[in-house]
């Protein structure tokens, strides 16, 4: 019941600071017999990694994962899978001049209040470096969901500052470093980011994720609802300020006739609900949308206070992302996969491998 | 670890169907010695109750709470507090003609898929009647938070369909049945709701809640963040489709210079973060905003299917709210209070009654 | 994660004081579709009830159970099952003269220290009355285990003070109020208890329980071992001071050649392990043995202190069991069933309805 | 809620197989500010280590602990503490001829049934190597308990086969490799073990542990009782078959007058209860006694079956302990410390740093 654990039956516990010796996680509850090797983590970790383009942090993380336990002769054994990544590029000196200064909008002030400890190394435990292990755990969940249930999870950048996609082309997403679903806009995004970086400022973003193939019946009333767990999962990601399921806040101004998804024997006519009704999956795609704030680690001076209780001006040098949302797509996907996997196991526990009824609507 | 339980240390477990014999809850972890009597629940339950105005469901619920345990001579004992409300107005016959029919946008389809059981009585476990017990548990949390920490929780209706408040007057909120912060607009809201009710349709709403007086340091990284738990709490309420902390989705189009809340020795200059940084309270007011969808139980016919696998047209008669968001304000407040109380205890467990440091900013 | 909850997936939360208005429980995680009616609880509650013979407490408890939720048209729905028993025979005045006095060996001293609250009514939350709800929940677990897996759980009194059964006759157990497996000794037991009651003293007991038909594979390493959970379950029963699995403490003086249960294709040659190896069931009967202390509520004066910090002499009048172990057999059975049911669901979650391999040994 | 986690608020999650690359643990919930360095683990790990005398396994484990996270500048930060030990002496070939054979009394049969995976490497996850991490986590708990509450935890070997201590001399315990409280008997124990080892057989043992200085009030009714959690903790240790609190099974034949610990203003007259009443500490020393079975990995041939379903004769060569109980004393101490620390935090959460009342009895 650690606060650094996520999931009831497929439980991921993460540890590590961004500038400590290592980060890692322990995954408990994975079904036995799933083929797994260390190189399967590379693709998704690469999608999340810094330093791939000029638009993200230039820190070079060597995200080489070592499997410490839970896998024998290439298959999961059913016992805890521990994953480890050594931190290699830990330029703590970059943070030298902010050791005593709190950064506006940053967790260092609240961590210090909570624990009375000031660990200035790259955000310590609050660093987005922690999300590396979410992505790693998500790789296992994605694989099991795909093999066992044909579930496919994918995400994309749905807004960058004020820019929105002109169209949705699923093929385009993985062809550009922004996970943007419209290839034609990519040059515009690059100019936008170049200008932003030059200005020293940062900007927010919206990431969407979709899970296709989720069977009806996953999710547990009342406080273990699928959407409740998704909201917790997404809000736990660094810099997230909002979560929507289906139409989300657009539903506020909708009428019931407009929002309800009518049902026919060959399918639903729409998916305003985002594939979840009463906290339980309906068989439609599960859709979630997540708001990322602009990072507060920017080059433009801001007013703050220091440990000595003096007013100071602060500039965050370091190597930060001008838009943390860009690298967040694989993280959102991972959290969606982790929640679904957990609920797949929970549903199986209570209702068995074969559910009580056949789906009425394909 | 029941899925019908909420909270790690202040744990609320609810039970009961809207048309069964009773609903109730068990609250475990309440500190001993808190004065408590059954009549203290009346005020908040009254704010949530149906049948108070023509704008909400006309079902008359007699929400008389019986305290079954955990209180001795007017004080909590530290052992589980069980609360019970007998259901009295259970006109199950109202649901007679939809026994075999699934309602679009309603949980009956997904519950049936999950459990293979068709309980048509008023939504069964998925009914918003369950939220009565959240409000009741919230009364205890609100009281303890106020007495022990001076925390005050309040909510209001921030949007009704397309209508938004013209101004914010905290005094107005409790003076009208909509919890609307602008008294001048109340006649307009009444006309809006009358027209909506006449049309047989429903509409969505947005509810905001604020907690003042939360000390810095509450919230646990990484998967027990204060905002993560708030997101889960709010998304678990019936009909909720979105949750925001602080600026929420507005942060997507903001710049870092705009969003970061600068710090001075006499306070923060703004509260875009909603009082939470890195999942831990900053000492500023904690603010949350919640989107409610339009209820799917409406009088306008919709297309659906029935248990026999036939296409049907469905009309929901019953006595439903044309806008479930109107009565939701006390529920959102209650969930905010439950999360804060849980985290107050969790913080005390790890860091002691007196935190490690004095607040730097008032 | 309430401390008044037991079980990870089949979760039982109990509430209520012995002399408050009611006791009850909420059972979450029960698979849907199990036939269940209120009269099914009668048999086991009767076995546990006081006032059936002169050898147990003469308090008359009317253990009429009301099902408040989770059952529809005679079948479980998959949602929380709440059970309620109103307390009827609450002669609180019996406890009048011990209101201010702590009883040696009794929980009133430690409860007062923990909570600062003195609830003298019959032991309040620490009363064995709470075990009524364990037995009730156990009825559901026993039924599901029997129907789904052919598991049969039974218990018996294996020692009463210094008396031990001369032989084991399974048929005899339910034919006498002691659950004693040797009918010939029953008159001796009656004389023993009569003399004990007359002396005003109390005596300890040992209860054994066995589960037949448990398939191999239930139990989760390392801290969710089947025997670990059994130990917690049994030690949580009032007055229990020891728990053994299989040979228990006898294993201390055994040799490895003697203790190890050799395996043949037609079965194990012995069952020193009690059906559990490495925390996981082996397919052999699961056996557990539980030590009950003599109750401290006796008529013989003892030295103690009172709330005012004065030395006092205390006599517990009331209507107490001279041997709490006599009525404990159904409680031990219930806890065994609850643990097994929880692990059946946990095993199904991780490994599916059909385990990965066929049992090698019948 | 991983099954490889222990503790509600001071949560220890272990991972790793005895012959995999590493073992480790993640400790979450440790209060911030506790001084901690890697060399503090050496003493207790040394007490548990193999290869120190001829009476234990001759495997040489280099238990060098690396702190991966949660400590900054020599103090705990409040975030997860991850500890890692690389496995160095992994002679898997020792197990070569039992790859396909199940060992009587060993967990390999049940693990295979549960998971369908056969990992013959030294018991894999079921190896007592896992307890290294319990001892490591226990070091932290012991230190915090001592510094914060003056609690002192110590254990000793209370029975070896049929041998029992002739007297109890606390000073003797750490002066011999058996943790035996009577120095005069040590030569006898050495001859006993030499003979046993020569015979190729193994023997059981009993380990006792005591915690002095535990304040009254720790422990949570009903399913979070201090003794309930202790029972689970002890029974989760490899080879344990029984747990007693206080007088344990001896209470079965006791009278109430004999067992109840009378109270005086200067203390209790006895401690039959083992310092726990109603699941809550009384202020007396907490005492627990644990039964270890004789290991089933012995040199004397036994009858078994293999994966092919054939009858076989099995001999376990390897380097096993003829009495696993000898090295178990630090493990039992560690589990006692982990339970107490968890309950110290849980008590603080509900009842605050300063309990509601002053102890009545010193």
What is the rounded average pLDDT of the residues A338-360? 91
Cβ proximity of D344 and D217 under 8 Å: no
Q: What distance in Å separates the CA atoms of residue B25 and residue B140, rounded to the nearest whole number?
A: 13
Which of the two residues, D49 and A299, has the higher pLDDT score?
A299
Q: Give the pLDDT confidence of B30-47 residue by residue, as tens digits.
A: 999 999 999 999 999 999
Using the predicted structure, report yes or no on whether residue A270 has a pLDDT greater than 60: yes
Chains that touch C (3 or more CB pairs under 8 A): A, B, D
User: How many residue pairs from chains A and B have C-beta atoms closer than 8 A?
Assistant: 395
The segment with the largest mean pLDDT, out of B103-117, B195-209, C96-110, is B195-209
- Whether A359 and B269 lie within 8 Å, measured CB to CB: no
Mean pLDDT of chain D: 92
* Structural domain contains residue C64: no
C237: nearest Cα among C139, C356, C327: C327
Element (H, E) at C312: strand C311-314
% of chain A residues with pLDDT over 90: 81
User: Does A124 carry a binding-site annotation?
Assistant: no
- Whether D303 and C263 lie within 8 Å, measured CB to CB: yes
Chain B hits for C3, CB-CB cut-off 8 Å, are 28-29
Looking at residue C305, its pLDDT comes to 94
pLDDT class for A361, splitting at 50, 70, 90?
A: confident
Chain B hits for D221, CB-CB cut-off 8 Å, are 79
What is the rounded average pLDDT of the residues D249-274? 96
pLDDT class for D316, splitting at 50, 70, 90?
A: confident
Q: What distance in Å separates the CA atoms of residue D332 and residue D208, rounded to the nearest whole number?
A: 8
* Structural domain contains residue D79: no
- Whether D1 and A1 lie within 8 Å, measured CB to CB: yes
What is the rounded average pLDDT of the residues B41-57? 84
Chain A hits for D34, CB-CB cut-off 8 Å, are none
The DSSP secondary-structure symbol of A352 reads: -
What is the rounded average pLDDT of the residues A183-192? 97
Looking at residue C354, its pLDDT comes to 80
Using the predicted structure, report yes or no on whether residue B92 has a pLDDT greater than 80: no
* Structural domain contains residue C51: no
Looking at residue C315, its pLDDT comes to 85
In total, chain A counts a number of residues equal to: 362
Chain A hits for B130, CB-CB cut-off 8 Å, are 222
% of chain A residues with pLDDT over 70: 95
Looking at residue B104, its pLDDT comes to 92
pLDDT class for A223, splitting at 50, 70, 90?
A: very high
Looking at residue B96, its pLDDT comes to 58
Cβ proximity of C109 and D281 under 8 Å: no
Using the predicted structure, report yes or no on whether residue A34 has a pLDDT greater than 70: yes
3-state SS, residue C171: helix
Q: Calculate the dihedral angle through the C-alpha atoms of B32, B33, B39, B41, rounding to the nearest 10 degrees.
A: -40
Cβ proximity of D210 and D154 under 8 Å: yes
Query: Which of C134, C240, C263 to probe by mutation at the D interface, max D CB count within 10 Å?
Result: C263
D277: nearest Cα among C331, C330, C245, C304: C304
Q: Which residue has the tokens 């022990």?
A: B148
Chain Cα centroid distance, residue B181: 18
Q: What distance in Å separates the CA atoms of residue B274 and residue B283, rounded to the nearest whole number?
A: 10
Query: Which of D18, D31, D79 to probe by mutation at the A interface, max A CB count within 10 Å?
Result: D79
Looking at residue B124, its pLDDT comes to 86
Q: Give the pLDDT confidence of C229-287 residue by residue, as tens digits.
A: 999 999 999 999 999 999 999 999 999 999 999 999 999 999 999 999 999 999 999 99
Chain Cα centroid distance, residue A52: 18
Q: What distance in Å separates the CA atoms of residue C133 and residue B307, rounded to the nearest whole number?
A: 37
Q: What distance in Å separates the CA atoms of residue A347 and residue A339, rounded to the nearest whole number?
A: 12
Query: Which of C347, C350, C351 to probe by mutation at the A interface, max A CB count within 10 Å?
Result: C350
Which of the two residues, B99 and A161, has the higher pLDDT score?
A161
Looking at residue C35, its pLDDT comes to 97
What is the rounded average pLDDT of the residues A114-128? 84
| pTM of the predicted protein model | 0.97
Chain Cα centroid distance, residue D276: 20
Q: What tokens does B320 get?
A: 């439903």
Which residues pair with residue D210 across a beta bridge?
Answer: D154, D287
Nearest CA in chain C to D16: C222
Query: Which of C113, C196, C328 to probe by mutation at the D interface, max D CB count within 10 Å?
Result: C113
B1, B260, B356 member nearest A115 (Cβ): B356
Q: What distance in Å separates the CA atoms of residue A15 and residue A23, rounded to the nearest whole number?
A: 6
* Structural domain contains residue D60: no
pLDDT class for C194, splitting at 50, 70, 90?
A: very high
Looking at residue A97, its pLDDT comes to 63
- Whether C14 and B80 lie within 8 Å, measured CB to CB: yes
Looking at residue A32, its pLDDT comes to 96
3-state SS, residue B82: strand
Q: What tokens does C294 get?
A: 């003599």
Which of the two residues, C205 and A128, has the higher pLDDT score?
C205
For residue C108, the domain's CATH number is: 3.60.150.10
Q: Which residue has the tokens 């979070």?
A: D224
Mean pLDDT of chain B: 92
- Whether A68 and D9 lie within 8 Å, measured CB to CB: no
Using the predicted structure, report yes or no on whether residue A51 has a pLDDT greater than 90: no
3-state SS, residue A51: coil
- Whether D79 and A124 lie within 8 Å, measured CB to CB: yes
For residue C189, give Cα distances in angstroms to B344, C157, C202, C326, D246. Answer: 54, 11, 14, 11, 27
ipTM of the complex: 0.96
Using the predicted structure, report yes or no on whether residue B357 has a pLDDT greater than 80: yes
Looking at residue D321, its pLDDT comes to 86
What is the rounded average pLDDT of the residues D21-46? 96
* Structural domain contains residue C156: yes
What is the rounded average pLDDT of the residues D180-194? 97
- Whether B256 and A115 lie within 8 Å, measured CB to CB: no
User: How many residue pairs from chains B and C have C-beta atoms closer than 8 A?
Assistant: 161
Domain extent for B28: 5-351
- Whether B228 and A245 lie within 8 Å, measured CB to CB: no
Looking at residue C29, its pLDDT comes to 97
A222, A291, A357 member nearest B251 (Cβ): A291
pLDDT class for D172, splitting at 50, 70, 90?
A: very high
For residue C33, give Cα distances in angstroms to B4, B114, D128, D208. Answer: 19, 11, 42, 47
pLDDT class for D176, splitting at 50, 70, 90?
A: very high
What is the rounded average pLDDT of the residues D210-237? 97
Using the predicted structure, report yes or no on whether residue A40 has a pLDDT greater than 90: yes
3-state SS track over D325-355: CHHHHHHHHHHHHHHHHHHHHHHHHHHCCCC
Looking at residue A185, its pLDDT comes to 98
Chain B hits for A113, CB-CB cut-off 8 Å, are 216-217, 280, 282-283, 355, 357, 359-360
Which of the two residues, C318 and C153, has the higher pLDDT score?
C153
3-state SS, residue A312: strand
Element (H, E) at A333: helix A329-351
* Structural domain contains residue B356: no
3-state SS, residue C322: coil
Nearest CA in chain A to B113: A217
Looking at residue B120, its pLDDT comes to 72
Looking at residue D148, its pLDDT comes to 96
Q: What distance in Å separates the CA atoms of residue C286 and residue C288, rounded to the nearest whole number?
A: 7
Q: Give the pLDDT confidence of C253-264 residue by residue, as tens digits.
A: 999 999 999 999
User: Does D31 carry a binding-site annotation?
Assistant: no
Q: Calculate the dihedral angle through the C-alpha atoms of A193, A198, A200, A206, rounding to the nearest 10 degrees.
A: -10
The phi and psi torsions of A288 (rounded to 5 degrees) equal: -140, 145
The total number of structural domains that make up chain D: 1
Using the predicted structure, report yes or no on whether residue C326 has a pLDDT greater than 70: yes
The phi and psi torsions of C160 (rounded to 5 degrees) equal: -130, 105
Cβ proximity of C47 and C157 under 8 Å: no
% of chain B residues with pLDDT over 70: 95
Q: Which of B65-74, C338-347, D43-52 has the lowest mean pLDDT?
A: D43-52
* Structural domain contains residue B100: yes
3-state SS track over chain D: CCCCEECCCCEEEEEECCCCCEEEEEEECCCCCCECCHHHHHHHHHHHCCCCCCCCCCCCCCCCCEECCCEECCEECCCCEEEEEECCCCCHHHHHHHCCECCCCCCHHHHHHHHCCCCCCCCHHHCHHHHHHHHHHHHHHHHHHHHHHCCEEEEEEEEECCECCCCCCHHHHHHCCCCCCCHHHHHHHHHHHHHHHHHCCCECEEEEEEEECCCCCCCECCCECHHHHHHHHHHCCCCEEEEEECCHHHHHHCEHHHHCCCEECCEECCCCCCCEECCEECCCCEEEEEEECCCCCCCCCEEEEECCCCEEEECCCCCCCCCCCHHHHHHHHHHHHHHHHHHHHHHHHHHCCCCCCCCCCC
Q: Give the pLDDT confidence of D321-345 residue by residue, as tens digits.
A: 899 999 999 999 999 999 999 999 9
B116: nearest Cα among B106, B128, B108: B108
Looking at residue B225, its pLDDT comes to 98
Q: What distance in Å separates the CA atoms of residue A101 and residue A314, rounded to the nearest whole number?
A: 7
Looking at residue A52, its pLDDT comes to 73
Nearest CA in chain B to D353: B353
């Amino acid at each position: 019941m650690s606060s650094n654990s996520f999931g009831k039956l497929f439980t991921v516990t993460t540890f590590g600071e961004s500038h400590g010796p290592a980060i890692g996680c322990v995954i408990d509850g994975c079904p036995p017999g799933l083929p797994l090797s260390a190189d399967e983590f590379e693709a998704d970790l690469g999608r999340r990694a810094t330093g791939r383009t000029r638009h993200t942090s230039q820190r070079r993380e060597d995200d080489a994962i070592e499997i410490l336990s839970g896998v024998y002769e290439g298959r999961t054994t059913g016992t805890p899978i521990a994953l480890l990544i050594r931190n290699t590029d830990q330029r703590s000196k970059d943070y030298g001049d902010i050791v005593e200064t709190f950064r506006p909008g940053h967790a260092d002030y609240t961590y210090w209040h909570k624990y009375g400890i000031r660990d200035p190394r790259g955000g310590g435990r609050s660093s987005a470096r922690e999300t590396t292990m979410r992505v790693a755990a998500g790789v296992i969940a994605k694989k099991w969901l795909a093999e066992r249930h044909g579930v496919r999870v994918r995400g994309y950048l749905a807004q960058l500052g004020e820019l929105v996609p002109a169209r949705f082309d699923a093929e385009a997403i993985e062809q550009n470093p922004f996970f943007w679903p419209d290839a034609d806009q990519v040059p515009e995004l690059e100019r936008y980011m170049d200008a932003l970086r030059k200005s020293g400022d940062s900007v927010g973003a919206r990431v969407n994720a979709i899970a296709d193939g989720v069977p009806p019946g996953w999710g547990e009333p009342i406080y273990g609802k699928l959407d409740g767990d998704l909201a917790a999962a997404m809000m736990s990601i660094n810099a997230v300020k909002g979560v929507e399921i289906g139409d989300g806040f657009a539903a506020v101004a909708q009428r019931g006739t407009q929002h309800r998804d009518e049902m026919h024997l060959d399918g639903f006519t729409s998916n305003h609900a985002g594939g979840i009704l009463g906290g339980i999956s309906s068989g439609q795609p599960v859709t979630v949308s997540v708001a990322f704030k602009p990072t507060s680690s920017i080059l433009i001076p801001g007013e703050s206070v220091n440990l000595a209780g003096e007013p100071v001006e602060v500039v965050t040098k370091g190597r930060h992302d001008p838009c943390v949302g860009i690298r967040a797509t694989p993280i959102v996907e991972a959290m969606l996969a982790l929640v679904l996997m957990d609920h797949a196991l929970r549903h199986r526990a209570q209702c068995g491998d074969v559910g009580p009824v056949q789906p009425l609507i394909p």
